[in-house]
Amino acid sequence: MWKPHKLSPRGPVYLAIADSLASDLEAERIQPGERLPTHRALARVLGVNVVTITRAYAEAARRGLVEGHVGRGTFVRSLAEKPRVRARRGEGTGAIDLSQNQLALDPASFDGAALAKSVAARLGDALQAGYQPGGQSEHRAAGAQWMARAGLKVDAERVIVTTGGQQALAAVFATFAKAGDTVAVEELTYAGVKSLAALFRLRLHPVAIDEHGLVPESLEEACRRSNPKLLYCMPNLHNPTGVVLAAERRKRVAELAERYDLLVLEDDASGFLLEAPPPPIAAHCPERGLFVTSLSKSFSPGLRVGYLAAPAKELEKLAQTHAALIWMTPALTAGIASRVIQSGELARVVEKKRAEVRKRRALFQKILGHLATPSHPDAPCVWVTLPEPWRGEEFVAAAERAGVLVSAAETFVVSRAHTPHAARLCLGTPSSRAEVETALGRLARLLEGVPTPCRALV
Ligand SMILES: Cc1ncc(COP(=O)(O)O)c(C=O)c1O
């Protein structure tokens, strides 16, 4: 009969039992298909209440470790997954997700009924729209209006409506970089850009960052050594560190772009959270600046609408790539985006999201703040330096067993040689603050202990 190999003395007993089951399974001390003891039998052996075992088995089932069969008992599940496309990491496990850079949309923060009515009214227009690769002029104007909030003054004619920010980045990479070219990026960068670099066979040259954002001297060195075609960066609320690039440095980056004939691709996915962002780099070098924003974080990633602004002389090439990739963004979703921007609804949703981020950050400060690196007070993601002896991937695996999804530094690093023992926690993903508090509590308990030792190997 299985009984926990080792029970942690910390935290609730039911969690310790579920943790122990997970590590026993990993260490092959128990095999898939084995039947677990009855609740009563295990309670007797461990000298605990039957309710504790019931909760432990429920927790194990939630993590996908066991499954119950009525009348037959509880069985250990196979860890080998059937091949399938998962909708998202942790799907069906009930784990609290702090791994996705996302800001939950509170249904009470906007007028859903009015929006639905306007969608219905626009359906006819959308179906009659025909092919308009750059997007309808009204939709491009809405994009320009939203970009103005970030301090970028751009004519609607220079805006392409894209299917989210990622598709805009793909269009820029596909247009301006060919296999073997180098793109300069912050040394910790957005994982989606690492995927694009792999897809297009591009080299990424890491540029140093500190608490004021990317370091211009390091960018200059990158330009001298690797001759990059493009700099990709996130000046506002950098993902994953939550830092804002200092205004002075933005000017320096623009100067370097001129000197080294560099295009600057500025990704403003989360900048809407800043009440008064410094002027974008593109405002200092309009002939070299490409600017991307999207409604994924400010409103919903389900909408799949973003905007790309480009210098006049680059527009035609970009428009051709955009058309080659997807022809156009669906007119219906672009229309919804236009409506929420032009009616002021998006600005109101953003206010509420910003207030919620601040509350969640206050919670984080109380529970795990001592481990955070400096970031802007409106940053929805925090970058946590793990205490000794934890390592990033090890922490991610242990957190997942404890029912919390997070991302390790490995996800964001460009050079293997500089992988900090750190993790990103996205406080905005869960739909409720209570879930954030529960998740942070679990992580704090985990980090009070040490990682489960690996199986002895010689
Ligand atoms: C920095 C950054 N840029 C772009 C994206 C992609 O956003 P979208 O959903 O608009 O494609 C993300 C998504 O997480 C992101 O974090």
DSSP state letter for 412:
T
Task: Supply the residue whose CA is at minimum distance from atom 13 of ligand 1.
Answer: 101
Cβ(32) – ligand 1 distance below 6 Å: no
Q: How far is the CA of 429 from the centre of ligand 1 (A)?
A: 14
Which atom of ligand 1 sits closest to the CA of residue 166? 11
Q: Count the Cβ atoms, other than its own, within 10 Å of residue 370.
A: 10
Cβ(286) – ligand 1 distance below 6 Å: no
Cβ(166) – ligand 1 distance below 6 Å: yes
Amino acid at 147: M
Q: What is the pTM of this model?
A: 0.83
Cβ(268) – ligand 1 distance below 6 Å: no
Find out whether 368 and 436 touch, Cβ atoms under 8 Å.
Answer: no
Cβ(187) – ligand 1 distance below 6 Å: no
Q: How far is the CA of 74 from the centre of ligand 1 (A)?
A: 41
Which atom of ligand 1 sits closest to the CA of residue 295? 10
The Cα-based distances of 338 to 23, 195, 329 in angstroms read 51, 29, 13
Give the model's pLDDT for residue 450: 86
Nearest to 352 by CA among 101, 106, 146, 100: 106
Q: How far apart are CA 209 and CA 190, in angstroms?
A: 14
Cβ(165) – ligand 1 distance below 6 Å: yes
Checking DSSP bridges between strand 306-309 and strand 159-162, what pairing results, if any?
Answer: antiparallel
Crossing angle of helices 165-176 and 191-199, in 10° steps, is 40
Give the model's pLDDT for residue 83: 58
Q: How far is the CA of 449 from the centre of ligand 1 (A)?
A: 34
Q: How many residues does this entry show for the chain? A: 458
Q: How far is the CA of 205 from the centre of ligand 1 (A)?
A: 20
Can the peptide bond before residue 389 be classed as cis, meaning omega within 30 degrees of 0?
Answer: yes
Q: Which of 88, 89, 100, 166 to mutate to test the pocket of ligand 1 (most atoms within 8 A of CB)?
A: 166
Give the model's pLDDT for residue 177: 96
Nearest to 265 by CA among 286, 283, 238, 290: 290
Tokens, residue 309: 């602004």
Find out whether 297 and 354 touch, Cβ atoms under 8 Å.
Answer: no
Cβ(298) – ligand 1 distance below 6 Å: no
Cβ(213) – ligand 1 distance below 6 Å: no
Handedness of CA 215, 216, 221, 223 (dihedral sign): positive
Q: How far is the CA of 304 from the centre of ligand 1 (A)?
A: 10
Q: How far is the CA of 207 from the centre of ligand 1 (A)?
A: 20
Find out whether 32 and 79 touch, Cβ atoms under 8 Å.
Answer: yes
Q: How far apart are CA 389 and CA 130, in angstroms?
A: 59
Q: How far is the CA of 166 from the centre of ligand 1 (A)?
A: 6
Give the model's pLDDT for residue 81: 56
Give the model's pLDDT for residue 69: 81
Nearest to 447 by CA among 409, 379, 394: 394
Give the model's pLDDT for residue 454: 56
Cβ(164) – ligand 1 distance below 6 Å: yes
- Which domains are seen in the chain, by residue range? 13-76 (1.10.10.10), 96-108+347-448 (3.90.1150.10), 113-344 (3.40.640.10)
Give the model's pLDDT for residue 455: 53
Q: How far apart are CA 20 and CA 301, in angstroms?
A: 37
pLDDT by residue, tens only, the chain of 458 residues: 899 988 888 888 999 999 999 889 888 889 888 999 999 999 999 999 999 999 999 888 888 889 888 788 899 987 665 556 677 777 777 899 999 999 999 999 999 999 999 889 889 988 998 999 899 999 999 999 999 999 999 999 999 999 999 999 999 999 999 999 999 999 999 999 999 999 999 999 999 999 999 999 999 999 999 999 999 999 999 999 999 999 999 999 999 999 999 999 999 999 999 999 999 999 999 999 999 999 999 999 999 999 999 999 999 999 999 999 999 999 999 999 999 999 999 999 999 999 999 999 999 999 999 999 999 999 999 999 999 999 999 999 999 999 999 999 999 999 888 899 999 999 999 999 999 999 999 999 999 988 876 555 66
Nearest to 109 by CA among 363, 356, 430: 356
Give the model's pLDDT for residue 9: 85
Q: Which of 185, 189, 237, 297 to mutate to test the pocket of ligand 1 (most atoms within 8 A of CB)?
A: 297
The secondary structure of the chain in percent helix, strand, coil, rounded to multiples of 5, reads 45, 15, 40
Task: Supply the residue whose CA is at minimum distance from atom 12 of ligand 1.
Answer: 269
Tokens, residue 372: 């955070």
Cβ(136) – ligand 1 distance below 6 Å: no
Give the model's pLDDT for residue 87: 74
Cβ(269) – ligand 1 distance below 6 Å: yes
Give the model's pLDDT for residue 162: 98
Checking DSSP bridges between strand 182-186 and strand 230-233, what pairing results, if any?
Answer: parallel
Give the model's pLDDT for residue 456: 59
